Amino acid sequence: MSLRAVRVVAAGAVVLAAAIVSSFAFDWPADSGRYRFSFGSPRDGFKRGLEFGSSGGIVRAADDGELTFAASGRSLPGGYPLIGGSMVVVSHASQISTIYAGLEPGSVSSYLRNVRKGDIIGRIEPVGGLGRGAAFYAYDAKERRYINPLILMPSLSDDKPPVIRSAILVSDGKETALAASKVVKQGSYLLLVDAFDPSPTGEQAAPYEVRVMLDGSERDRVLYDAAWAEGGRSTLFSGARLGEHEYLASDGRMRFGPYVLARGRVVISVVVGDFAGNKREQTYSIIVQ
């Protein structure tokens, strides 16, 4: 099995169905894949797509399809605001729709109907002021969820592992940095992990996988494969099915647990991986009193 196939299998059953249809079919819509922020980056919440930022850069259709929606400007004709500015939606035979937002007003190719891969969709709105660059989303219409676009795109060369900045235990509102403390009281703790994966442009993007182990036993694992709404709740990760606000703290740290720590020596390991397979592991040994 190829490395690409291994990645797709790891993405979970829901994403697998979409990836089998679309793998290798989609092209990068902008900047040859040099995105700034990735699926899961904390950008006013959990980002559900990729963000590109080269001012004035061309945005192209990722695959053949039908243009089903186009809006140029910052609001719909009725005045409803468009978050991210001008937007285009293209529906594909694979039942995946690609969404292109943050396009420069006046640049949208709304005259298109049958879209061919590589057709110009518009230009990236300059970063700064009201513009944040262009955003690209992949939406599985059958399963009604956003898919991490990295699963559907050509692989990028990447040898940089993720960065783990900190791991902090939290109990009763008190934070204890694992790198600075060797002794904690027994009890129930949440674990806050501050980690990121460098994007192709050097920004602090999201990882693809995070694992937490206690004494060598895996206690939590999340795979950044999909996000959707379920019962009025923003839900993340097809395997873990976590609530967005339960998982992602307001400052962007990832929340795991709770874990009950009993007396004795406890080894906590955090493993963070990116989509290319690079990994970073940090292990902390503490005494619980």
**Percent with pLDDT over 70 in the chain:** 87
What amino acid is encoded at 172 in this protein?
D
Domains located in the chain, CATH noted: 3-151 (2.70.70.10), 163-288 (2.60.40.10)
Where residue 253 falls among pLDDT bands split at 50, 70, 90? Answer: very high
What does pTM read for this prediction?
0.88
b vs e for 236-267, b when ≥16 Cβ sit within 10 Å of the residue's Cβ?
A: bbbebebebeebbbeeebbbbbebebeeeebe
Q: With CA atoms as reference, report the closest residue to 122 among 28, 30, 51.
A: 30
What amino acid is encoded at 223 in this protein?
L
Please compute the mean of the pLDDT values over residues 237-263 and round it to a whole number: 96
Q: What is the pLDDT of residue 53?
A: 83
Q: Which is more confident, 4 or 160?
A: 160
Query: Which tens digits make up the pLDDT trace of 152-205?
Result: 999 999 999 999 999 999 999 999 999 998 899 999 999 999 999 999 999 999
Mean pLDDT score of the chain, rounded to an integer? 88
Q: What is the pLDDT of residue 25?
A: 76
Q: What is the pLDDT of residue 106?
A: 84
- Spatial neighbors of 138 by CB under 8 A, at least 6 apart, are 26, 49, 96, 97, 98, 99, 146, 147, 148, 149, 152
Residue 104 in this model has a pLDDT that exceeds 80: yes
- Spatial neighbors of 242 by CB under 8 A, at least 6 apart, are 222, 235, 236
Please compute the mean of the pLDDT values over residues 146-155 and round it to a whole number: 96
- Spatial neighbors of 206 by CB under 8 A, at least 6 apart, are 37, 38, 39, 40, 41, 42, 47, 196, 197, 224
Distance CA 88, CA 98 (A): 8
Please compute the mean of the pLDDT values over residues 57-72 and round it to a whole number: 93
Q: What is the pLDDT of residue 115?
A: 95
Please compute the mean of the pLDDT values over residues 81-95 and round it to a whole number: 84
